[in-house]
Each structure stands twice: as structure tokens, then as C-alpha cells.
Amino acid sequence: MDLETVKERAGPRQFSPEDDMPEEYRKAATRMIQFHANSEVMGGYLEKPFIRQAPSLDRKLAFSAKVQDEVGHAQLLYRAAESLGIKTREEMLNELATGKGKFLNCFHYPMESWAEVPMIGFFVDGAAMRRQATLKTTSWEPYAHAMDKVCFEEGFHVKHGEDILRELMTGSKANQERVQEVFDEWWPRILQFFGPTDDKSTHNDFSQDVGLKTMSNDELRNAFLNAYVPKARKYGLELPATPRVTENDDGTWEVVEEDLNWEEFFTIAKNDSEGSYEQIGSRRDRQEAVDWVREAMSDRAPLGSGSSPQAAD
Amino acid sequence: MIWEVFRQENAGDYHKHCGNVHAPDREMAKLFAQIQHGRRMQTKSLWVVPQEEVGEVDTDDTSFGGTTDKAYRWAVTYTQVDESFAEEIAESQAEQEEQAKKKREAETND
């Protein structure tokens, strides 16, 4: 299929491994889904230590269930990415362990206290959920199928995250202050979750033209702010004075780009920060520690009738 | 030889099991599947799979879970926060409730 046909036919769940997709499409989809899969792994790893720090048994159960879900989402997504025939699952996991694989900006920052948990569990997950809901209508069918299951589970994650926020913000003054402190720190990163504004984004046009993305960075950021700013205020969180974020009359928001630290964002995007080294290193250690499991699995005879994925090029 | 048949109704849907056909080879199986399962029902695509290639694990072999109370896993448990503020959260919760309902119905039928 040539690129023009792809753009003409682009629509929800239009293309599957049976279609002969042009390399540009397969590469763009691989980049997007691999990034998504990597982010599920790295988000899970960032949160994992807090299973131990959970303040009650209920929280511990829910939180470990959530981390388990995130790793499961990564598995689904690596499959969806692999079906494009550009990279194997193993290649993608190795790229992640060696610092070549890219992932979400928010998961490069260290997380130190329980007060930070709702920053990820409510705001970042909420932002991710907003984005993922729109990807149920992505043009790569295996990706859309993965989103069906991911979105089914995420409702629990976000509500649990909000419940932790509610608990902290209706608790002691000290807790409220702690949460406000970490909110000031996390809020700019959360705004950057959706990437640069549309006029500054590099991949946006192509991904939208071929139906991989169905909403632009700005549209997603607006939808997120409309739902989550009122929530932050409801729990008594104050938005920091900078970055400046102002609400328009028509349900859209202005984010003042120069108030956000894009140098930091792009350094992090290249996996080149203290946090990046630490998080990626931790993932690499795990990968090596369970190498023997993969080894043992690969000694088994191949299962099934051996239908082969689309050839890599 | 028995071939299990999976039908997809619309582009992008899952292929769902819809029955099986008797056929000596794959070509014939595809033809019979078309005739028996693709004529009346809305069909976008059919898969045929040799029955012996299908692996099954059922409730005799294992317990699939859902018997332990895992209320903490469901959005509906968190009643002190509301899901309606974002449509995607409300939708996720509705899907979970639907599954829980199906599960309860299956249990009463047992």
C-alpha cells in the first residue's frame, strides 16, 4: 500500500498485520507503540517501591495490583509493536535496558515520598488515560485492541490514585502541605506530559494523517486540564504561579510555553539525566537478574504451528 | 477433520468463535465456513483453525480466579471519589460493572 492510500483509508482500526503497510507507517507506529510500552514498564518500576511503603493493607493490595497491571500493559503493547515487523520484542527490551529506548518524561524523575504517589497515580495516570481513550480508535488494529484492555483496567488506577489524594488532602495539615509541595514540583512535568504545543511538535502531522493519533497534543492537554484542574482545586491544591496556565472562555487553555523548561524536557527525552540513569539502570539490573528465565524458556521447542510475523526489514 | 470457525463482523473487531465445520483440508474448510457461517450473519472475515491445534484449559484444570474478594481492584470500590468528571474514567468503570454483572449471572446459573 502506498502512503497516499494509507492517508485516504486512515480511520479507526483500519490496518492490521495482513495489510502491506509502507515502511514510513510501520516505523512511525513502532516508534509510538514502543514508547508507550516502555513507559508502562518504567511507570511500573517507578511505583514498585511504594508497594512496601503503602500505609495500609488495602493500599498495599491495590497498589501491587496496579503495578502488576502496568507490566501486563507493557506485554500487550510490545506485542502490538512487534506485529509491525520493524523490531522484535527482545530488541525493544534490550533498547530499554541499554538506554536507547525512550519513555515518558514523568517517569525519569525519582519518587521519594508517599505524598508523590497521587502525582503519578492520579494526575499522570489520568493524563495517560485521556490519551489512551483516544487511541481506541487508532488506525493500527492490534494497538487499538491493546487499548481495550488497558482502558478497562485504568479506571481503577485513576480512582485509586484520586482516593489517595483525597485521603492525604483531608488528613493532617502536615500531609496537605507535603502534597502541595510535591504538586508544585510535579505540575510542570505533568503539563509537559502531552509534549510541546502543536506548533512546536515534530511528529504530530504525520501520525494524525495516517490515523495513528486521533487528537493533537493541544486537544489532549485541553481535555485533561478541563477535567483535572477542577479536581486539584477541589482538594485544595493551588496551581503554582508559573508555569502560567489560563483558562479561555471556550473550554480551552493557554499554557505559556516559555514558562516550561524545555531544555530539561529534551535532555530527559534523550535519557540524559540523573533520574534517567537511575531508572534505566534499575530496569537493566532486573532484566539481567531474570535472564535465566528467558534462557530457560528459549530452550523449549517452539509451540503451535509457527505462523510467522511480518518479515522485518 | 474438524475446523473451528471464528467470525469477525466489522473491520477492527475481534474474531469470535462461532462454530465449526467438517472439511478435508484448509481450502475446503474456508469454503464451508463461508457457506455455513458467513452467509446470513454480517461478516468481514473468517478464520478457520484445525481443532487439534486449539489448546484448551478449563475449570476442571484450573481455577480462573475471581473467587477471592479483590474489591480493591475495581473502580466502583472507591466510592468517596466520583468517576463522572472524566468520560474515559466513567466508561472504564461501566465496562468493569458490566463484567461483574456477567460474572454474577454466570455464578447464579451454575
DSSP A201-261: -SSHHHHHHTTS-SS-HHHHHHHHHHHHHHHHHHTTPPPPSSS-EEE-TTS-EEE-GGGS-
Chain B: residues touching A (Cβ < 8 Å)? 11-12, 14, 53, 70, 72-75, 77-78, 80-81, 83, 85-93, 95-96, 99
Contacts of residue B29, defined as CB under 8 A and 6 or more positions apart, other chains included, come to B1, B3, B21, B23, B48
Helix (H) / strand (E) containing B77: none
How sure is the predictor about B109, in pLDDT bands with cuts at 50, 70 and 90?
Answer: confident
Cell numbers at B88, concatenated: 474515559
Using the Cβ of A61 and the Cβ atoms of chain B, whether some distance falls under 8 Å is answered with: yes
Using the Cβ of A163 and the Cβ atoms of chain B, whether some distance falls under 8 Å is answered with: yes
Domain boundaries, position A132: 3-287
C-alpha distance from A167 to closest chain B C-alpha (Å): 10
Does residue A299 fall inside a structural domain?
no
Does residue A296 fall inside a structural domain?
no
Compare CB distances from A141 to B12, B89, B90 and report the shortest one's residue.
B12
What pLDDT score was predicted for residue A308?
46
Q: Domain total for chain A?
A: 1
| Eight-class DSSP state of A271 | T
Does residue A37 fall inside a structural domain?
yes
CB-based contact A129 B80, cutoff 8 Å: no
Residues on chain B touching A129 (C-beta within 8 angstroms): 86, 88-89, 92
Chain-centroid distance, C-alpha A252: 23
- A17 preceded by cis ω (within 30°)? no
Does residue A31 fall inside a structural domain?
yes
What pLDDT score was predicted for residue A269?
93
pTM: 0.85
CB atoms within 10 A of CB A173: 7
Helices assigned H by DSSP within chain A? 3-9, 23-47, 49-53, 57-82, 89-97, 117-118, 125-134, 141-169, 173-192, 204-209, 217-234, 262-269, 274-289, 291-298
Does residue A294 fall inside a structural domain?
no
Does residue A303 fall inside a structural domain?
no
What pLDDT score was predicted for residue A106?
96
Walk along chain A (313 residues) and give the pLDDT tens digit of each residue. Answer: 999 999 999 999 999 998 999 999 999 999 999 999 999 999 999 999 999 999 999 999 999 999 999 999 999 999 999 999 999 999 999 999 999 999 999 999 999 999 999 999 999 999 999 999 999 999 999 999 999 999 999 999 999 999 999 999 999 999 999 999 999 999 999 999 998 877 776 666 899 999 999 998 889 999 999 999 999 999 999 999 999 998 888 878 888 889 999 999 999 999 999 999 999 999 999 999 998 988 887 776 555 444 544 443 3
| Gap between the Cα atoms of A298 and B90, Å rounded | 42
What pLDDT score was predicted for residue B70?
83
Contact B42, B10 (CB under 8 A): yes
Which of B3, B78, B79, B96 to mutate: most A Cβ within 10 Å? B78
Any bridge partners for residue A245, and if so which?
Answer: A255
Compare CB distances from B80 to A144, A154, A166 and report the shortest one's residue.
A166
Helices assigned H by DSSP within B1-110? 26-37, 87-109
Cell numbers at B107, concatenated: 455464578
ipTM for the predicted complex comes to: 0.73
| Gap between the Cα atoms of B32 and B48, Å rounded | 10
Question: Which CATH number characterizes residue A151's domain?
Answer: 1.20.1260.10
Higher pLDDT, A128 or B38: A128
C-alpha distance from B102 to closest chain A C-alpha (Å): 15
CB pairs under 8 A between A and B: 84
Does residue A218 fall inside a structural domain?
yes
Residue B3 has pLDDT above 80, yes or no: yes
What pLDDT score was predicted for residue B103?
81
Cell numbers at A34, concatenated: 514502543
Helix (H) / strand (E) containing B8: strand B2-8
Compare CB distances from A65 to B72, B88, B91 and report the shortest one's residue.
B72
CB-based contact A230 B87, cutoff 8 Å: no
Contact A273, A244 (CB under 8 A): no
> Whats the size of chain A, residue-wise?
313
What pLDDT score was predicted for residue B105?
87
Does residue A307 fall inside a structural domain?
no
